[in-house]
Structure 1
Amino acid sequence: MTDTNGLEPVAAFCGNCNCGCPQLYVDPNAPADRRVLLTDDFGQRVQMSADQFASLVDEAKSGALDAVLKA
């Protein structure tokens, strides 16, 4: 499991459980280019800047990522 001490939770992506589901955090102590943190249920993590995350959100809102769900 990924250590989440000091991280600010933003969202969980599985529902109402505490089973290590994918989660989104902000790490206020990380460098700006690694401040947004996404963990998966296998303990892996992806870190990105707020600008990179905003770009991902914009693509999702526009429907550009919808094809991923149809695969």
Structure 2
Amino acid sequence: MTDLTSLEPLATFCGKCDCGCPQLYVDPAAPVEQRVVITDDFGQQVRMSADQFSSLVDEAKSGRFDAIA
């Protein structure tokens, strides 16, 4: 896993515990297609472009994921 100290934190999901909550980062040194980083509480990460992340946000705003929550 990448050293997270070089990433710019944007959001922590949950944050009500100290279990290593999922987080959203920007990696300014990464290639454009891998700049957005989402980590989970198991030490894994997903990297995507800003365009891909924007598409994910648009889907969430439209209610597409409401049934999951």
Task: State if a TM-score over 0.5 links the two structures.
Answer: yes
Distance 1:16 1:2, change over 3 A: farther
What is the CA deviation profile of residues 15-61 of structure 1, one whole-angstrom value per residue up to 9, with x for unaligned ones? 24443110000000000000000000000000000000000000000
Other-structure match for 2:51: 51
Q: How many residues align?
A: 69
**RMSD of Structure 2 on Structure 1 (CA):** 1.6
Q: Which runs of 4+ in 1 moved over 6 A?
A: none
Unpaired segments of 5 or more residues in structure 2? none
Other-structure match for 1:65: 65
Distance 1:54 1:35, change over 3 A: same
Unpaired segments of 5 or more residues in structure 1? none
TM-score by length of 1: 0.87
TM-score by length of 2: 0.89
Partners of 1:2 and 1:44 within 8 A in 2: no
